[in-house]
Amino acid sequence: MKRILKKSVLFLALFSILLAPAVVSADEVTEVWSRVYFTADTLHQKYEIMLSIIELDNRDVAPILIEALEELAEQMLYFDRSDMVIQNNLKVLIISELGDLRVVEAAPVIFTVMKETKDPYLKGGALIALGKTGAGQYAREIALILRNLTLYRGDDVVGEEAIAFSCIVALKRLGDPVGYMPVFLASNSGFSRKIRKAAKEALPTILEDPTEVLLDVVENESSIQLKLAALKAESMSSAPVENKASVASEAINQGLYYKTSYIKDIALLRELRLLALEMFITYETAYIVAVPLIEKVLYLDYDLSETIYALEALSAMPDKEAVQALTRFLAFQNSRQLAGITPRDNRVVIATIRAIKNAKSKAGSEELLRAKYAGYPAVVGREADKALRSL
């Protein structure tokens, strides 16, 4: 009889709210829903009532949501399996709505639930809600969770990936620089392709200019794979060109002096140098520090494409040091030719001549003239003549 009476009261209360929204104030609506929810006998009833509250999609009910979540956070876990599931689902429901409504003041209780739960999906939902509410005070904690998941994997792969994905979403929304490095590591980890992709897409949002972080990776990280990933991230960022050039310069330095006998690492070092050279070609910026490093690439003499990239990079730099480096390289080739040492590939000589021509500097005129009469094949002589005429 008591249960029937309660249901009748519930029905009348809800009926009055639905029929007279114009005459019932927001505070009164909130008060009625609060009484209805907190006087419900079972979790099943509370869940159904909460569904109705959330359907209102009204920020006025935020106090009810916060109080309900606080009550759930303080409750002991139910031993009955079905009750435990409903209790968890109710938390997920409330946290999701608090996030959607951007209820900033709910962040502390959401964080408490996130820390205490062992359910990966509830934890993930709480993390995303923290991001939506702009709870920047928890960015460092979220970043630490992601870092630990990246470095130390457990047995629950699916659950851990759900948490990692939620961390990335939250850190992307919060946009705190503290999240950059953990997200960067996640983008180059053993996570699934979905997680790595989400992490890569989040990086530009978290930090507009990540130069300081990524330069440190290129310079000090032992993994060549991570050095390369850092250079790629820098090239994709919104950092100023001069900052990108500084990272590219250090990448060439690492690519030249990092010692390894592993074939895979040797290939990665080549890729590192090529990407850095490509960045200089694209930016067309004067970065004097890089000139001697790029010049060293010219004399590696075992990769035609890399040599040509280095020539193009120097040609794209609008400063005399770059032209002087090109001229020295042409002089080196001319001396070998005059000494009877035929070039392994005339394309390198032609590319050098064209690079000096594109630099539009008369500093290389003398060596161009030597190249014209050094006894190269006719095609090289013609290129030298065209370059001389253009200067």
Question: Residues 331-379: pLDDT tens digits?
Answer: 999 999 988 887 777 899 999 999 999 988 888 899 999 999 999 999 9
Instruction: Please report where in the chains the tokens 């606080």 appear, as a residue.
Output: 70
| pLDDT value at residue 339 | 87
**Residue 6 and residue 123 share a domain:** yes
Question: What is the pLDDT averaged over residues 109-128?
Answer: 96
**Mean model confidence pLDDT for the chain:** 90
CB neighbours of residue 42 within 10 Å: 10
Give the pLDDT confidence of 276-331 residue by residue, as tens digits: 999 999 988 878 899 999 999 999 877 889 999 999 999 999 888 999 999 999 99
Q: Which of 74-78, 229-233, 240-244 has the lowest mean pLDDT?
A: 74-78
Report CA dihedral (66, 50, 55, 93) to the nearest 10 degrees: 70
**Residue 83 and residue 2 share a domain:** yes
Question: What is the pLDDT averaged over residues 38-64?
Answer: 92
**Residue 227 and residue 112 share a domain:** no
**Residue 155 and residue 71 share a domain:** no
Checking if the pLDDT of 266 tops 80, the result is yes
Q: What is the distance between the alpha carbons of residues 267 and 258, in angstroms, rounded to a whole number?
A: 12
What are the C-alpha distances in Å from 336 to residues 280, 332, 349?
Answer: 29, 6, 11
Per-residue tokens: 248: 């590219």
Question: What is the pLDDT averaged over residues 48-61?
Answer: 92
- Domain stop point among 129, 147, 180: 129
What is the pLDDT confidence band of residue 25, given thresholds at 50, 70 and 90? low
Instruction: Please report where in the chains the tokens 């080739």 appear, as a residue.
Output: 333
**Residue 192 and residue 89 share a domain:** no
Instruction: Of 204, 208, 194, give the one whose Cα is nearest residue 166.
Output: 194
> Do the beta carbons of residue 287 and residue 277 sit within 8 Å?
no
**Residue 258 and residue 227 share a domain:** yes
**Residue 52 and residue 5 share a domain:** yes
Q: What is the distance between the alpha carbons of residues 156 and 158, in angstroms, rounded to a whole number?
A: 6
| pLDDT value at residue 318 | 81
**Residue 41 and residue 164 share a domain:** no
Checking if the pLDDT of 9 tops 80, the result is no
Where does the chain show beta strands of DSSP type E? none
Give the pLDDT confidence of 12-22 residue by residue, as tens digits: 455 455 444 54
| pLDDT value at residue 4 | 46
Q: What is the distance between the alpha carbons of residues 391 and 223, in angstroms, rounded to a whole number?
A: 45
DSSP class of 179: G
Compare 13 and 105 and report the one with higher pLDDT. Answer: 105
Question: What is the total count of domains within the chain?
Answer: 4
DSSP letters of 1-15?
-HHHHHHHHHHHHHH
Q: What is the distance between the alpha carbons of residues 209 and 205, in angstroms, rounded to a whole number?
A: 10
| pLDDT value at residue 215 | 98
| pLDDT value at residue 391 | 81
Give the pLDDT confidence of 148-197 residue by residue, as tens digits: 999 988 888 999 999 999 999 999 999 999 999 999 999 999 899 999 99
Q: In this structure, which amino acid lies at residue 91?
A: K
| pLDDT value at residue 343 | 75
| pLDDT value at residue 30 | 80
Three-class SS of 328-368:
HHHHHHHHHHHCCCCCCCHHHHHHHHHHHHHHCCHHHHHHH
Is residue 305 included in any domain, yes or no?
no
**Residue 60 and residue 124 share a domain:** yes
DSSP class of 176: -
**Residue 340 and residue 288 share a domain:** no
Instruction: Of 331, 320, 261, give the one whose Cα is nearest residue 291.
Output: 320
Q: Which of 74-78, 270-274, 358-362 has the lowest mean pLDDT?
A: 74-78
Share of the chain above pLDDT 70, in %: 92
Tell me which range, 6-10, 97-101, 258-262, is most confidently predicted by mean pLDDT: 97-101
Task: Give the structural domain span for 235.
Answer: 208-297
CB neighbours of residue 5 within 10 Å: 9
- Domain stop point among 207, 222, 255: 207
**Residue 104 and residue 141 share a domain:** no
Q: Which of 7-16, 26-35, 130-139, 318-327 has the lowest mean pLDDT?
A: 7-16
| pLDDT value at residue 26 | 61
Is residue 310 included in any domain, yes or no?
no
**Residue 143 and residue 196 share a domain:** yes
DSSP letters of 57-90?
--GGGHHHHHHHHHHHHHSPPPSSHHHHHHHHHH
> Do the beta carbons of residue 252 and residue 287 sit within 8 Å?
no
Is residue 309 included in any domain, yes or no?
no
Is residue 314 included in any domain, yes or no?
no
Question: What is the pLDDT averaged over residues 47-69?
Answer: 93
Is residue 30 included in any domain, yes or no?
yes
Checking if the pLDDT of 94 tops 70, the result is yes
